[in-house]
Amino acid sequence: MMQKMKSSFLKNCRLTTLFFLSPPLYATTELNIYCTLQNDACEEVAQRFSQQYSIDAKFVRASTGVTLGKLKAEKNNPQADIWYGGTLEPHLQARDLGLLEKYRSPKQAEVLVQFKDLVHKYGDYTSFGYMLVLGLGVNTTKLKELGLEAPKCWHDLLDPRLKGEIQVPDPQSSGTGYAFIATLIQLWGEDKAFDFLKKLNNNISHYVKSGLVTSNLARGDSSVSIGFLHTFEVEKAKGAPLQSIPVCDGDSYTLGGISIIKGARNLDNAKLFMDWALSKEGQELNWIRRAPYQIPTNKYATVHHGAVSPEQLNLIKFDFEKFGSSKQAKLILSRWLEEVKLSK
């Protein structure tokens, strides 16, 4: 009898030990990322994270607006765990729509002092992986052929000699395009901003996907583009005759969002990825040092010499709460579609 009890006791001990030493049944080694960066950057990030943590990280690359649309469509059956990159405003819209998982990363404590208030306000659902500055990109060869000087301010874009020479990211699918409209409204008020956009429409050849704006400019398909300055510097580094220009009206900017998707199947891995992406190490990947010169938000990260330093900028006071509202975005985009794009 004693022998039976002893055997049973030892068996239970072994089972208990195995329970505590074995990984939990729900643990996964996968991570699915919706990535809104350049494709090469998405690939680099996924590979580095996979190698460091032995997690099979896969990504789908899409523009900000397209990614937000995917999150809406997949609300009841999410196909990704985390959304990495893209302008902040659509991330806030996703928050408003209940599409994000609440998580405040401990690495938020290492954010640059300029963004601490924003982190305090929005960090429950979205963290900031990098900073982007909005401005102009010009093809210097094309402008020389036209006999024109490079524009320096937003109103310079209304020069009739630029008719058919400007391309802008379509704000219906591009966070960059939406950020441009929001910037003008922030600077001048909505009615004056839309009056400007209607006049600008006469000089625009196409509203295109954000990924095509810079490559088209580099090829000479356009003379002037509106976008984030780092994208023009990427093509310039490859040898394209491009120049990036901060506008005289003040430096508008946004932050690259990182948000965990509501219902993420690999939640722990998504949290780990966010912590890593916010760290000094995660923000000093080779692709950041080499290109595209995005500005790290981690105060310990080294800024590439080709990137703009936040201290050098004349940042406008941007109302992320207003323009990050899903309702407000819908109203702005509806007005733009009706009064600007479809008015031709």
pLDDT of the residue at 72 = 97
The rounded Cα 123 to chain-centroid distance in angstroms is 15
In angstroms, rounded to a whole number, what is the distance separating the alpha carbons of residues 224 and 241? 12
CB atoms within 10 A of CB 30: 13
> What would you measure as the largest C-alpha separation in the chain, in angstroms?
103
End-to-end CA distance of the chain: give it in Å, rounded.
94
Q: Which domains does the chain have, with CATH numbers?
A: 30-132+254-308 (3.40.190.10), 133-252+329-343 (3.40.190.10)
Mean residue pLDDT of the chain comes to 88
Of the pLDDT bands very low, low, confident and very high (cuts 50, 70, 90), residue 335 is very high
Whether residue 131 contacts residue 294, with contact meaning beta carbons closer than 8 Å, is answered with yes
DSSP state letter for 305? T
DSSP 245-287: E--TT-B-EEEEEEEEBTT-TTHHHHHHHHHHHHSHHHHS-HH
H or E element in which residue 288 lies: helix 286-290
Whether residue 126 contacts residue 257, with contact meaning beta carbons closer than 8 Å, is answered with yes
Percent of the chain with pLDDT over 70: 88
State yes or no: pLDDT of 59 exceeds 60. yes
State yes or no: pLDDT of 68 exceeds 60. yes
Cis peptide before 292 (omega within 30 of 0): yes
In angstroms, rounded to a whole number, what is the distance separating the alpha carbons of residues 134 and 168? 12
Residue type, 19: F
Digit-coded pLDDT (tens) for 5-30 = 444 444 444 333 333 333 343 457 99
Whether residue 105 contacts residue 79, with contact meaning beta carbons closer than 8 Å, is answered with no
Residue type, 239: G
Digit-coded pLDDT (tens) for 166-176 = 999 999 989 89
In angstroms, rounded to a whole number, what is the distance separating the alpha carbons of residues 138 and 181? 19
E strands, 98-184, in order: 126-139, 166-169
User: How much is the CA Rg of the chain, to the nearest whole Å?
Assistant: 23
> What average pLDDT does this structure show over 225-236?
90
Of the candidates 268, 264, 257, the one whose C-alpha atom is nearest the C-alpha of residue 53 is 268
> What average pLDDT does this structure show over 88-95?
94
13-17, 275-279, 287-291, 332-336, range with the lowest pLDDT: 13-17
> What average pLDDT does this structure show over 153-158?
98
The backbone torsions φ and ψ at residue 173, rounded to the nearest 5 degrees and listed phi first, read -125, -10
State yes or no: pLDDT of 201 exceeds 60. yes
- Cα distances from 323 to residues 36, 88, 185, 263, in angstroms, run 19, 9, 10, 26
163-201 in b/e form (b: 16+ CB < 10 A) is: eebbbbbbbebbbbbbbbbbbbbbbeeeeebbebbeebb
State yes or no: pLDDT of 305 exceeds 80. no
> What average pLDDT does this structure show over 86-99?
94
State yes or no: pLDDT of 276 exceeds 80. yes
139-143, 160-164, 197-201, 251-255, range with the lowest pLDDT: 251-255
Within 13 A of 258's CA, how many CA atoms are on the CB side? Answer: 25
For residue 126, the cross-strand partners are 259
- Angle of helix 326-339 versus helix 190-200 axis, rounded to 10: 40
Whether residue 126 contacts residue 100, with contact meaning beta carbons closer than 8 Å, is answered with yes
The backbone torsions φ and ψ at residue 227, rounded to the nearest 5 degrees and listed phi first, read 180, -170
10-14, 111-115, 157-161, range with the lowest pLDDT: 10-14
> What average pLDDT does this structure show over 308-330?
85
